[in-house]
């Protein structure tokens, strides 16, 4: 529970501003990431032996592998169809425009479907939602093999988008269940790499499969890899829902009020670190000190880990509230900007998907298989993005926290978007102007790689910023971000074709300027982001109180 000090809304801490580094070494070693480290564990792990934060490194890495497998399998199953739209149209008579409309609806439902799947996962468990929706997704992939009419195609795409929705907003939360704040960026970056790589790899193999066996075998292969992935997930994916019973507010890792506050309170050994850098005794009857040396409970056995349903974590009232509250979070500028920047990052990816086949087949006379091979470029870009938005991002955040007397501000990661502001215009100009002037095809592949790098990093930074700012409502925040992202991409998708009538050179020079301006907006967020979070604290902590603390 929070101290009485926090009952006054004006004294509530700013969401996301936490103490990450013990600059004076005043805390007990049990609260540090390592015995010799000055990094403070946030969230605070419980004394329960089954707390996902207390899993062994090997067990956590197995969970990481399962989430990556889910992301790759689901992502490839949704992206493989892009390379065979023309053969489908020729075989079924369904116009390509209808096929594209269907994929647009699928993309829209990938975001909006989370309004249903996310509350179900947070209430009944993430493991059953992954497995049950995955099984239903598998059925929609099988159905694609026998589709003959436009109505069947559109219905299939709506259902596929809904059942694949956990890939957009649940995976990030599953990583956050297992890892601490100082290491979260690395795994969010890994998720981003897996998500974009799945979309880049699918056209590579789908082109060859279509040329050799026909378009139906693209769906057969998608169904097979999805089925194999589901078997692996059933055997090794664990439930990560855990009733921690605390929030950042209760854990006292937050910084009270604003940057002018004198004392920064942090749980542990009854001490608080002052802005002067001194460690003072500060006990409160409402702050419970966890005894880390004594864990309780019995570790789950393997059969218990395989159970589909373990318990209900939230009340039904809270579950239904979570189905509409993501729309209420649109009042938070931080969440809206995160969704906008993620959606903008995907716009350029969609533009390249819409033009890559036209450019490489029309200008460079590539076959469908060779067009697929060009996606090795963006695959490399996605891997580089993982390093930048993951490992470098975490180190950067810790570096800034040490400079700021141990206090971490979510906006600090955003300085790394400076790279995107420079790289995206370069990639778009290399792609569009290069195609217009028939430069060597390798130049376009490099441009493809640069744009993919910015798409993956833009998404990862958007997710990290939103989760760092509003961690205790992470499940709902991610739904809001994905709704904005997918709605924006869906809307702009209809404007891509008319835009291209300007010609490749003019189109992509314009796109480069627009993209640079969008990414440069991070400077506004760095300046005003903390003020936005400060103004949202009353509403935010009120939502937290009614869901995280009172929803069980």
Same-domain status, 344 and 470: yes
Same-domain status, 335 and 239: no
H or E stretch including 272? strand 271-274
Residue 306 lies in a domain: no
Cα–Cα–Cα angle for 298, 301, 304, nearest 5°?
105
Choose one of 243, 265, 299: the last residue of a domain: 243
| CA-wise closest residue to 234 among 463, 464, 66, 55 | 66
Query: What is the per-residue pLDDT for 349?
Result: 81
- In DSSP terms, 265 is beta-bridged to 272
Query: Could you give the CA distance from residue 243 to residue 213 in angstroms, rounded to a whole number?
Result: 50
Residue 164 lies in a domain: yes
Is residue 543 a contact partner of residue 318, using CB atoms and an 8 Å limit?
no
Is residue 447 a contact partner of residue 439, using CB atoms and an 8 Å limit?
no
Choose one of 193, 215, 243: the last residue of a domain: 243
| CA-wise closest residue to 190 among 57, 68, 59, 79 | 68
Same-domain status, 87 and 195: yes
HEC letters along 77-127: HHHHHHHHHHHHHHHHCCCHHHHHHHHHHHHHHHHHCHHHHHHHHHHHCHH
Q: Which residues of 477-508 are buried (b: 16+ CB within 10 A; e: fewer)?
A: bbbbbbbbbbbbbbebbeeeeeebeeebeebb
Neighbours of 26 (CB within 10 A): 16
Same-domain status, 231 and 365: no
Same-domain status, 83 and 222: yes
Query: What is the per-residue pLDDT for 285?
Result: 32
- For the purposes of burial, counting CB atoms within 10 Å of the CB of 140, is it exposed (0-12), middle (13-18) or buried (19 or more)? buried
Same-domain status, 350 and 456: yes
Query: Could you give the CA distance from residue 159 to residue 113 in angstroms, rounded to a whole number?
Result: 9
Structural domain count of the chain:
2
Q: What number of CA atoms fall less than 13 Å from residue 15's CA on the CB side?
A: 30
Query: Could you give the CA distance from residue 290 to residue 276 in angstroms, rounded to a whole number?
Result: 27
Choose one of 243, 262, 296: the last residue of a domain: 243
Residue 445 lies in a domain: yes
| CA-wise closest residue to 344 among 455, 432, 429, 450 | 455
Tokens of 306: 């395989």
Same-domain status, 238 and 333: no
Same-domain status, 73 and 197: yes
Neighbours of 55 (CB within 10 A): 19
CATH of the domain at 64: 1.20.1250.20
Residue 493 belongs to what domain range?
328-552
Query: What is the per-residue pLDDT for 287?
Result: 31
Query: What is the per-residue pLDDT for 552?
Result: 38
Is residue 196 a contact partner of residue 456, using CB atoms and an 8 Å limit?
yes
Query: Could you give the CA distance from residue 120 to residue 322 in angstroms, rounded to a whole number?
Result: 9
Same-domain status, 469 and 358: yes
Compute CA 382 distance to the chain's CA centroid, rounded to the nearest angstrom: 14
Neighbours of 109 (CB within 10 A): 22
Same-domain status, 436 and 529: yes
Tokens of 487: 């709605």
Query: What is the per-residue pLDDT for 163?
Result: 97
Query: What is the per-residue pLDDT for 302?
Result: 83
Residue positions counted in the chain: 552
Same-domain status, 105 and 239: yes
Same-domain status, 88 and 196: yes
pLDDT along the chain (552 residues), means of 10: 48 85 60 60 82 91 97 94 82 86 90 93 94 98 94 96 94 91 88 91 86 90 96 95 66 47 34 36 33 69 85 81 90 96 88 80 81 88 92 90 89 96 96 92 94 94 93 88 89 71 87 94 96 92 72 40
Q: Which residues contact 358 (CB under 8 A, 6 or more apart)?
A: none
Cα–Cα–Cα angle for 265, 465, 450, nearest 5°?
145
Residue 88 lies in a domain: yes
Tokens of 529: 């982001």
Query: What is the per-residue pLDDT for 31?
Result: 54
Residue 50 lies in a domain: no
Query: Could you give the CA distance from residue 192 to residue 467 in angstroms, rounded to a whole number?
Result: 14
Residue 352 lies in a domain: yes
Query: What is the per-residue pLDDT for 34?
Result: 56
Residue 430 lies in a domain: yes
Residue 168 lies in a domain: yes
């Amino acid at each position: 529970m929070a101290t009485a000090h926090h009952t006054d809304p004006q004294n509530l801490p700013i969401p996301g501003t936490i103490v990450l580094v013990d600059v004076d070494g005043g805390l007990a070693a049990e609260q540090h990431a390592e015995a010799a480290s000055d990094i403070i564990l946030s969230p605070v792990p419980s004394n329960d032996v089954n707390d996902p934060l207390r899993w062994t490194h090997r067990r956590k890495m197995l969970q990481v592998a399962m989430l990556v497998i889910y992301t790759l399998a689901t992502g490839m199953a949704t992206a493989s169809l892009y390379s065979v739209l023309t053969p489908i149209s020729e075989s079924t008579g369904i116009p390509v425009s209808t096929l594209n409309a269907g994929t647009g609806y699928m993309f829209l439902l990938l975001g909006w479907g989370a309004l249903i799947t996310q509350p179900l996962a947070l209430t009944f468990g993430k493991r059953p939602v992954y497995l049950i929706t995955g099984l239903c997704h598998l059925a929609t992939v099988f159905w694609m093999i026998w589709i003959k009419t436009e109505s069947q195609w559109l219905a299939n795409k709506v259902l596929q988008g809904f059942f694949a929705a956990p890939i957009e907003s649940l995976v990030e939360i599953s990583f956050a269940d297992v890892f601490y704040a100082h290491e979260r960026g690395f795994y969010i970056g890994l998720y981003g790499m897996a998500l974009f790589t799945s979309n880049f790899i699918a056209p590579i193999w789908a082109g060859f499969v279509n040329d050799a066996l026909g378009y139906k075998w693209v769906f057969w292969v998608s169904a097979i890899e999805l089925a194999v992935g589901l078997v692996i997930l059933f055997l090794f994916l664990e439930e990560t829902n855990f009733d921690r019973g605390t929030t950042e507010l209760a854990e006292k890792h937050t910084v009270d009020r604003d940057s002018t506050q004198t004392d920064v309170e942090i749980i542990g050994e009854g001490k608080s670190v002052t802005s002067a850098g001194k460690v003072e005794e500060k006990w409160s009857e409402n702050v419970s000190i966890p005894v880390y040396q004594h864990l309780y409970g019995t570790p789950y056995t393997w059969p218990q880990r395989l159970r589909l349903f373990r318990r209900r974590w939230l009340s039904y009232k809270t579950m239904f509230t979570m189905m509409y509250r993501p729309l209420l979070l649109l009042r938070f500028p931080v969440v809206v900007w995160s969704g906008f920047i993620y959606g903008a990052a995907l716009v350029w990816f969609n533009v390249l998907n819409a033009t890559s086949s036209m450019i490489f087949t029309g200008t460079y006379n590539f076959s469908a298989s060779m067009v697929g091979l060009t996606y090795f470029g963006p695959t490399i870009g996605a891997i580089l993005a993982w390093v930048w938005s993951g490992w470098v991002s975490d180190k950067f955040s810790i570096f800034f926290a040490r400079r700021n007397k141990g206090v971490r501000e979510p906006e600090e990661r955003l300085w790394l978007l400076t790279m995107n502001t420079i790289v995206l215009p370069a990639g778009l100009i290399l792609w569009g102007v290069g195609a217009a002037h028939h430069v060597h095809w390798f130049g376009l592949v490099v441009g493809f790689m640069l744009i993919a790098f910015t798409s993956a990093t833009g998404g990862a930074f958007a997710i990290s910023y939103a989760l760092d700012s509003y961690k205790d409502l992470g499940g709902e925040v991610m739904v809001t971000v994905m709704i904005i992202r997918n709605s924006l991409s869906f809307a702009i998708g209809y404007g891509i074709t008319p835009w291209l009538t300007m010609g490749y050179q003019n189109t992509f020079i314009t796109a480069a300027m627009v993209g640079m301006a969008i990414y440069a907006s991070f400077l506004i967020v760095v300046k005003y982001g903390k003020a936005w979070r400060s103004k949202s604290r009353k509403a935010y902590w009120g939502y937290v109180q009614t869901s995280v603390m009172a929803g069980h």
